[in-house]
Structure 1
Amino acid sequence: MKKWLCIVGIGEDGLAGLGEAARAAIDGAEIMVGGDRHLAMLGDDKRPRLTWDNALHATVAKLAKFKGQRVCVLATGDPMSYGIGVTLCREFGAESCRVIPHQSAFSLACARLGWPLAEVDCMTVHGRPLGRLNRHLRPDARILILSGDGNTPKEVAAALRAAGYGDSKITVLERMGGPMEKRHDGTAKAWRRKCGDLNTIAIHCAAGPNAPRLMRSAGLPDELFQHDGQLTKRDVRAVTLAALAPAPGELLWDVGAGAGSIAIEFLRAEPTARAIAIEQSSKRAGNIRANGENLGVQKLQVIEGAAPAALKGLARPDVIFIGGGVSDRKVLNACWRALPSGGRLVANAVSMEGESQLFGFMRLKGGGMKRIEISHLDAMGDLHAWRAMRPVTQYRGVKT
């Protein structure tokens, strides 16, 4: 199929900064598409123009009507780095699109700061929750953020202070690559400046003495989760995440999710994955949403309802964890039916009834079981002794 849609990245230096291929694509287009700022760079151009609607899908629908004509979309920097190129390639297919990237804001920022791009966390908060920053916070991490507007640096600084990272260094780079480029430096604890709308934020994280250590490996401290006691405890959670083995693009069902700790750590371990947390208690469902926001995950959906009824109509999972409800054979059977061939099921039980159900299920479906027993050292007067947690029986199976 002929590539009829060309997506050209353009920088603050306008047409003068484009290479021959990009200029040829613009010159040969019949219809130009972009924001007002980008289209203004074309000057007095008589060709038909299409600007972005507030509802992006509306403009995408209009683009579809031009299929077969030579359409050129102007986009900021690298269109495939949190840009419109991702949406258009997904909508029309890579076979219809030609992408000519310019320097990304991330590349330009690293060039200004002397940072190795491969060692930097890159993210955007443009049209996305600021809470996603929390997934990246850890001592000495370097983070680059595409801003939403001129207020974003202040909001980021406030979030860093609230998280115990007030000593972090912040650099805001405005309109990089053009004649109006500016740089502002400071720390999160002192930052109050409003910047220009077109800016990129660089953070060099410095954790305060009381900042929680938010590693990406499984097993976050229990106190980081809002919960009412229904929580897969830290050590058991680490073992459970190892059994679930998150992989790119997978969908997890967390059935009987409690505080949502399994789903949240699944997403922290693999940010391209998705998770659906199923929880019948509305209060706990609220905790799951708050925990997801506080710990910076995305693609987390919360369903209020009891399994197995609440599972009907959900997107088909690749992997399922059952943390609540294993004593009900109907829940186990419904989850197993929902899995595709090769899908994985992990279930934890603490009661004898739940363990009995898992054992019977294993005999029918195959798989294996483990017992997880954890003890913590505890004071006993002037002495010390081991205090045992309730053992957890874990089932692991793969559907064939």
Structure 2
Amino acid sequence: MGNTKNINLIGIGLGNPDLLTKAAISAIERSAVIIGAKRIIESVKEDFPNKKYFTEYNTEKIIEIIRENIDNETAVVFSGDISLFSGSLKLFDKLKALVEDEKDFKDCNINTFPGISSLSYLCAKSNTDISKVKILSFHGKEELLYHNIDSNEYTFIITSKAEGVKEICRKLISFGFFELDIILGENLSYDNERITIGTASDLLGMDISDLNCMIISNPDADKSIGFGLSDEVFARDKVPITKSEVRAIIMSKLDIHPDSICYDIGAGSGSVTIEMSRLAYEGKVYAIEKNPLAVELIKKNIHNFSAENIELIHAKAPEGLDNILEADKIFIGGSGGELISIMEMIFTSKKNHTIVISAITMETISQLTDIVKIAKQKGYDTEITAVNVSKSKEVGPYNMMMAQNMVFIGVIKM
């Protein structure tokens, strides 16, 4: 059997044994023990008889099987490629630690063998440039769909069974993506393989296999993400809005990352909330607002911008701040007189967070000054900026500059 200290992590491709690489075939032939999930084991068992097979996908249990058979060369087989949404990644790290720390695994060699992934297979079959593809998985997890579709020419998705495809199609329709081409691959590499190109509506009327993946094509994808949206794009009514120029400064001070956890406290009509959600497109935004009318406007704006990553909480802070200690970007635009108590709660967080506070009234400005002093004592970097914006307005044949309210912006940063 060759070197009995080999542990081989093998990507077998999509399931058809004809797609196994020569290196993978050789490694399986050398191995006395084969471990893998049921479908994967069944795909190789016929071609590689006289092996000791174990049906298992749990990482810890796989390690125990390897330990019990440590004197035999072992192959752990995975579907697709071991580098794409594969349990191999976690197993490799665990095995590497065992080789370094445990006597039983001393001198074991961890070998890796790539396979053909559903991504590379479907891209090749549909003549899609894989370098332009954004990769998502809805298999047992949630992803933010709108931003990825809107900002990428191609989006590849591993779905969760047939219903997963239809749920994605319903979302695309709700987002207004009626005409986008979807390449649906079913049972790839098997005799009953089917590749279909159609719209979301077309796919909703189909019977779809549970073994599937898809590529959504958006030739009009807009890859740019900016902030400082025009005030006119928001549903506003009689609820105050943070004006676009001031909002742009606030967003620049917050310096939001794609995976940021954000809070907009006193969210008003939700203009800052929406800007946050566009920048934290892989993160989460909590919008706290006490005014029922404002809450309804935020709901409209969430719908209008298809902002999936916003959780709206109808409460008066500090109520509704259950996840505040996990946040790294916090904006306080309205505190209802609770600014000090809110900040006391935030200061207990161990996150390296950035807090931006806007103040218009003299009372809030006074509180802001006190908070900045406390923050300095706690080791934060602080600054206060006064913003005075004037915009032109036509008066007869002339243009007059009309001043907006002066806004003080406090920044507290760890």
Residues 79, 346 of structure 1: alpha-carbon distance in 2 compared, 3 angstrom cutoff: farther
Q: Paired residue for 1:9?
A: 11
Spell out the pairing of 1:117-266 with structure 2 (5 A cutoff).
117-129=130-142, 132-138=144-150, 141-188=153-200, 190-191=202-203, 192-205=205-218, 216-219=225-228, 229=239, 232=242, 234-247=244-257, 250-257=260-267, 262=272, 265-266=275-276
Equivalent-residue separation in structure 2 for 1:30 and 1:333 (angstroms): 58
1 CA distance for matches of 2:394 and 2:171? 37
Report the CA distance between 1:11 and its aligned residue: 1.9
- Gap change, CA 1:136 and 1:73, over 3 Å in 2: same
Task: Give 1:246's aligned amino acid.
Answer: I
What is the alpha-carbon distance in structure 2 between the residues aligned to residue 13 and residue 377 of structure 1? 66
Alpha-carbon deviation of 1:246? 2.8
Letter in 2 for 1:360: D
Aligned match for 2:78, one of 75, 78, 94: 75
> Alpha-carbon deviation of 1:151?
4.6
Q: Say yes or no: does 1:338 pair with 2:352.
A: no
Deviation larger for 167-176 or 63-72: 63-72
1:49 aligned partner, one-letter code: F
Q: Matched residues, percent identical?
A: 23
Say whether 1:104 aligns with 2:148: no
Question: Contact 1:138–1:215 (CA<8 Å) still a contact in 2?
Answer: no
Q: Secondary structure at the match of 2:122?
A: helix
C-alpha distance in structure 2 between counterparts of 1:26 and 1:230, whole Å: 67
Post-superposition Cα deviations, 1:184-208, rounded to whole Å, max 9, x if no partner, equal 223345553333332322222266x
For 2:366, the aligned partner's letter is S
Structure 1 residues without counterparts, runs of 5 or longer: 53-58
**How far apart, in 2, do the equivalents of 1:167 and 1:20 lie?**
42
Aligned to 1:397: 412
Moved more, 195-204 or 302-311: 302-311
Deviation per CA, 1:303-343, whole angstroms, max 9, x where unpaired? 77655576578654444333332852232243234245x54
**Residue in 2 that maps onto 1:357:** 367
| Structure 1 CA distance for aligned equivalents of residues 278 and 89 of structure 2 | 22
Query: Paired residue for 1:371?
Result: 386
Mark the CA change 1:122 to 1:37 in structure 2 (over 3 Å): closer, same or farther: same
Counterpart of 2:217, as a letter, is: H
Deviates more, 1:116-125 or 1:306-315: 306-315
Whole-angstrom distance in 2 between the partners of 1:93 and 1:270: 35
| Conserved 8 A contact 1:25-1:72 | yes
Q: CA 1:224–1:98 in structure 2 vs 1: closer, same or farther (change >3 Å)?
A: farther
Is contact 2:263–2:324 with CA below 8 Å preserved after alignment? no
Which amino acid in 1 is paired with 2:413? V
In the alignment, is residue 323 of structure 1 matched against residue 328 of structure 2? no
Contact 1:120/1:144 (CA < 8 Å) preserved in 2? yes
For residue 55 of structure 1, what is the aligned residue in structure 2?
none
Superposition deviation, residue 41 in structure 1:
0.9
Structure 2 match to 1:56: none
CA distance in 2, matches of 1:11, 1:352: 66
Q: Assess if the C-alpha contact under 8 Å between 2:340 and 2:367 holds in 1.
A: yes
For 1:195 and 1:378, the matched residues in 2 are separated by: 58
2:54 equivalent in structure 1: 49
1:123 is displaced (CA, Å) by: 1.7
Amino acid paired to 1:332: M
Residue 126 of structure 2 corresponds to: 113
Contact 1:254 1:275 in 2 (8 A): no
The answer to whether the 8 A contact 1:372-1:391 is kept is yes
SS in 2 for 1:150: helix
Q: Which runs of 5+ in 2 are unaligned?
A: 99-109
* TM-score calculated relative to the size of structure 1: 0.72
